[in-house]
Chains A and B, each alone.
Chain A
Amino acid sequence: MKKYILFRAFYSVITLWLLVTIVFALVRLSGDPVKMRGEIGADAAYLQQIRQDWGLDRPVHVQYVSFLANLVQGDFGHSFEKSLPVRAIYLERLPNSLKLGFAAFAISLLIGVPLGMISALKVGTAWDNAGKAVALLGLSIPGFFVGLVLIIIFGVDLGWLPVLGKGSSNFSGNDPSTWFSFWFQDWRHLAMPAFALGWYFSGAMLRITRSGMLDVLGTDYVKLVRLKGVPEAIVTGKHALKNAMIPVLTVAGLNLIIMINVAVVIEVIFNWPGVGLLLYDGLTNRDFPMVQGVVLMSGVMIVLLNFIIDVLYAYVDPRVRLTA
């Protein structure tokens, strides 16, 4: 186990290093970081000034070394507009993204898992076809379109739900009273963006649940339990479900991380102040260090959580540590 964890940790560090190197190289090869500010029609001297400020006039290898050195020290750059470290701004926004992500995650599970199970248990019937249709629609209708339609129906026409913002609840690290209450307030603000975000992932969850359940239902141990005369509800609900949930939970964990980081358009539509809106603010403010910093923070978070999931998975399933 220890050896496995060390191996995964080494692998994660390599992935992280390659990731930041790719970001560093692509940003310089495919475009120009200063270009964003140049489009206001600024003169060459101003651009040269920014180039100097951001250290882009130095030789590439010097830039690369200082880029890596800063990252190792946890410095993800400074926002040009707000003159604050990107990391501080990101961490301040993160609770909002987590709240949205968890809610969307819960919705995707609540829609995807039961429908996927019905699909698998009634395979080949009208129920199955309905499940397939839901999965296909989930994967095909973009979340931001779902969000706009929700706004039209529940925000504009019916006027039931607030359309913009996250409400008044704030998460503050210094104020313990908000640590708990933050997650359970303002659900009316949360409902529409969470559904729009969870929509896409519920299609994916449905498909995984269905195929996982079908795999398990075909195994010998399920047949044996049936032969024993165990009632069908217990066969599927207890014996089959547990094993069918393993792939579902793995993918669900990954989906949760992705949801937190990829909700950019939905956060823009609902003006939800998470990390996605931060990325958008960076774009509209022509604030390149901010954009790059947020992307790098996302990368670090994803690699870190992938590592944790791998280790947990090996802990649960001993076969994994032996093969790796």
Chain B
Amino acid sequence: MATAFDEVGALATVSRRARHPLRILRELPAIPLLIVAVLAFVALLAPVIAPHGKLDPVKPTPAQCLAKFGAENCPYVDGMPPFWAPEGSLTTPLGTDFLGRDVLSRLMYGAQISLLVALTGTIVAGFIGTMVGVLAGYMGRWWDQILMRITDAWLTLPSLVFAILLSSVRGPGVWNVVLILALVFWSRYSRAVRGEVLALRERDFVRLAEINGISKTRIIFRHLVPNVMNTVMVLFSLQVGVAVIIEASLSFLGVGVPPPEPSWGLMMSEGRDALMEGSWWLAVFPGICISLLVLSANMLGDWLRVRLDPQLRNR
């Protein structure tokens, strides 16, 4: 009898173990991962799969010119609606902007800029913030006091206002936006990381490392940093969405990515002028792209947070 029970128990554990990897797969947030994968794919392959260039107007057919200007030859047709509208055409599926450029192609190239800027900016910010947080938490005393007071002061200004101030002295430019995002967002990491390190440094493995005479640098990089990576990853994924919005806002205000580059925020601000003439698609399509990217980043961040923090699992 007893052996039979044991066998059943053993079987149950085996089957549970075997199911485990699959369960993780099933719990993966499929929709946001799919959106991010598609956007990354489009961004990487934009030069190959985009139907038109990002900066040059689309060459119109004589019929399109005739309909718009009443002449057979014209350099470009601006403000063409998406393909389902009567004046639309499948060569420019999402219409053309005020310079006759293809909206779909520009959106594809825009994915490059948005992902590049938001990811690099957030990574650099995460690196600085983690370092500051670990230093403050582990070194304690004056380091802690000074670094945390600076972090607090840094956190006072709303990120958009801060970013606008910095962009006014940097001027527009893709790398300037990356620098600004790094400068604005590092403080969001250091506060959380410091709290984490304060608890970690009282733990036995850190104490033992200290007793063994291991150098502070080594303790920080080998023992503390790997242990705060969970927190950093969660913050990172939640921060990417904010970074995308800040980049779009700066570009919208004309101090982010400079024209004629196709940043989504910039495309929205260019499309805004045509809203009154009824050309809604110029502002709506980039807006949908921004929203989808931020939405999936936030969903991934929420998923990671729940995954990495068992206490939150049922909330």
Contact = CB atoms under 8 A, between A and B. Distances in A.
Interface of A: 14-16, 18-19, 22-23, 26-27, 30-33, 35-36, 39, 136-137, 139-142, 144-145, 148-149, 151-152, 156, 163, 211, 214, 258, 261-262, 264-265, 268-269, 279-280, 282-284, 288, 291-292, 295, 298-299, 302-303, 306
A151 B287 contact: no
A36 B171 contact: yes
Contacts of B92: none
Given A18-B153, A265-B253, A152 B284 contact: yes
Nearest to B296: A140
Contacts of A32: 169
Contacts of B275: 148, 151-152, 156
B169 A14 contact: no
A211 B248 CA distance: 31
Closest 9 CB pairs of A and B: A31-B169, A18-B153, A145-B287, A140-B295, A262-B158, A31-B170, A19-B153, A140-B294, A141-B291
B11 interface: no
A291 B167 CA distance: 10
A144 B290 CA distance: 11
Interface string B291-309: 1001100110010000000
Dominant secondary structure of chain B at its interface with chain A? helix
A291 B168 contact: yes
B183 interface: yes
Given A148-B287, A156-B280, A33 B164 contact: no
A140 B161 CA distance: 19
Contact of A19 (B157, B168, B179, B253): B157
B156 A15 contact: yes
B165 A292 contact: yes
A259 B168 CA distance: 21
A150 to B, nearest CB: 11
Main secondary structure of the interface of A (DSSP, over half): helix
B294 to A, nearest CB: 4
Contact of A142 (B169, B245, B278): B245
Given A18-B150, A136-B298, A291 B284 contact: no
Interface residues of B, number: 46
B250 to A, nearest CB: 9
B262 interface: no
A30 B179 contact: yes
Given A26-B183, A31-B166, A265-B252, A142 B158 contact: no
Contacts of A19: 153-154, 156-157
A295 B169 contact: no
A295 B184 CA distance: 14
Residue with the greatest number of chain B CB neighbours at <10 A, chosen from A15, A211, A282, A306: A15
Contacts of B291: 140-142, 145
Contacts of B183: 26, 30
Contacts of A306: 156
B315 A299 contact: no
Interface string B235-277: 0000001000100110011110000000000001000100110
Given A19-B157, A211-B315, A295-B162, A152 B168 contact: no
A291 B165 contact: yes
